[in-house]
Structure 1
Amino acid sequence: MHWKYISALLIMIHCNIALQAQYPVTQAVQQVKLSQIKMSTPAALPFSGIDISTAAMQDSTAIGFVTADEIGQAARLVPDTNMHRWLQTCIKEQYAPLYTATAPRLLCVIQDLRIQEQKNGNDGFLRLKAVTYSTPIREDRYQLINTIDTVMMVSKNSGTSAIAQAINLLLQPSASLQKNSKTFTRLAIAEPVNMNGRAPVMLTREYKTGAYLSYEDFRNNRPSVENITVKIDTKSGKFNVYELTKDSALAAIPACWGIAFANELYICYQDMLVPVEKNNNSIMLSSWVTPDKRQNRAMFWRWILEKAGPENNALRNDIFDRIYRKGINVPGTSALATRLDLDKGGLSF
């Protein structure tokens, strides 16, 4: 019964592909390349060199989103080369002349470098998450010297200076190795950084149809409930997820984290189904993925809305407005959610 339902639904989804032209496309339709940035120049640096690792970053292809025109349209901010080379070049050109030959060497493991400028003159945000290590010259074992996890306020159109300010944080505090402290090889430092990228949901191209009751189920591409359907309450605008039982009855799934259907992924947030997709090493909200690269076109979602009937056009427009035009806020902040935090499964910018 379940597979017959899916087959019929897939036919209806593909027959409704033309529906996508009726709705707005994306929050970010442009791309802005960032070349070298100007950072403050200290009188001297207590390092013989600075190495950068970006293997831990959820998305090493972009630095976030900035406002790109007079109407505040968001644009994807990308380095003009790959992230590792871009950061390493920025630091080398700025700081190499100041290195002290006999000083320790610094290793910066960047886990997150993300910016979001806000339109209409509102403040934006920049997050830097990193771990820094140091090793004496001519040695190959590193000692942890600092962890950074900070969110900085960013004024409109000040992204470049904010990124430079964040990079400067990597140099604090100055290296001071402690005797008898635990040390790590470079391999040991690099080994755990790609754990999120190894999650089954990140490695597969086929998402098992069903409902995820937890983020852990989602990470493992392992639906807790496999036979499902979704209906929308036209009065409240709430998406309700149901299990299709053996006798074809519907049993509500009240605590649903997300679903996969017809190889599309959705998270359940505030009674909405929010289309998401794998994008490089991250899970992005599909509305923030450039249209020509978007994989999840929300055909299952659109089919549900169309099924509600033309008398519910206002409801459909409201849902598209909340998710595609205005966007969803990261809980507790005014930042717009653009992706999942792969460590915790919550919304992030």
Structure 2
Amino acid sequence: MRPFDYERATSLHDASERMSDAAAIIAGGTNLLDLMKIQVMTPSRLVDISRLDGLDRIDDHDGGLRIGALVTNTALATDPRVRAGWPVLSRAILAGASAQIRNKATTGGNLLQRTRCPYFYDTAMACNKRAPGTGCSAQGGSGRMLALLGTSEDCLAAHPSDMAVALAVLGASVEITAPSGELRTLPVTQLYTLPGNRPDIETDLKQGEIITAVVLPAPRPGTAQTYRKVRDRASYAFALVSVAAVVLMDGDTIAEASLAFGGIAPRPWTDGSVNALLAGAEASDESFARAAAQLVPDSAPHPETEFKRPLLRRTLIATLREATGLAGRVDTARSL
């Protein structure tokens, strides 16, 4: 780890004033410190916001919730209001990391965690996300954890957050505070940028801006919510594919469906055409297969992510069976 200055911010304005290209915000530090140890990130200054007042609360807000950026993953996942009204969020958070990390990791930090692409973590390899213009060693390299959708020739990395996928399916927004004190909000799905030819630019955050809260809209009565994560081992592993679903049924018909996907793209992935295809459709394997065909690309951007195409298809169908109640009424053991 390279030497750095540590500074404790006294206010949001103070934190913004201390920010520069060579500085980094630290709160829980569960991802940042790991990256600093292996010199993937080398800030010359850490600005600690972990003791700022008011950012560690979950408050009722217009029928929904306002979740402070310093709320820990554990506190958010176990909050009775979240478990009752937005259970998909609780399930997604509990599917991520370990209990020890969830106790320390924050809401804002979870949203801004960096990719787990092995070439991003290896400073001996070319990585446009880590060092723009050096190339992408994932092209022609190992690709098991890479993305399936939204990639470019310059980057194949996938976003790692489980929580962000659940927030995307719930229509959550991110509250961002500028150095001037001005607030702006973005849907979670618009916080992230696709790699294009600048994979190093990962979010829409401007210089000195800080995520201060996440806002959840009011829960939808009568919806079924679920989160399904497929990974290499049962715990402490990032998703190969994950699906978050919020479904409203009208008898055997899907009245509304909202889906979001993780492990397959540089950001939490949503596809409005898939939601539209399901709305008004009968809850059946045939309807689910049509939705999967709409979502899954015809080919993978890397030969080693080809397995994610059928895996995504099967995971989506299994998730929809659970969310619509079909799993309890039909034989789910047959081939998908």
Question: What TM-score comes out, normalization by structure 2 length?
Answer: 0.29
Specify which structure has the higher proportion of strand: 1
Larger radius of gyration: 1
Question: What TM-score comes out, normalization by structure 1 length?
Answer: 0.28
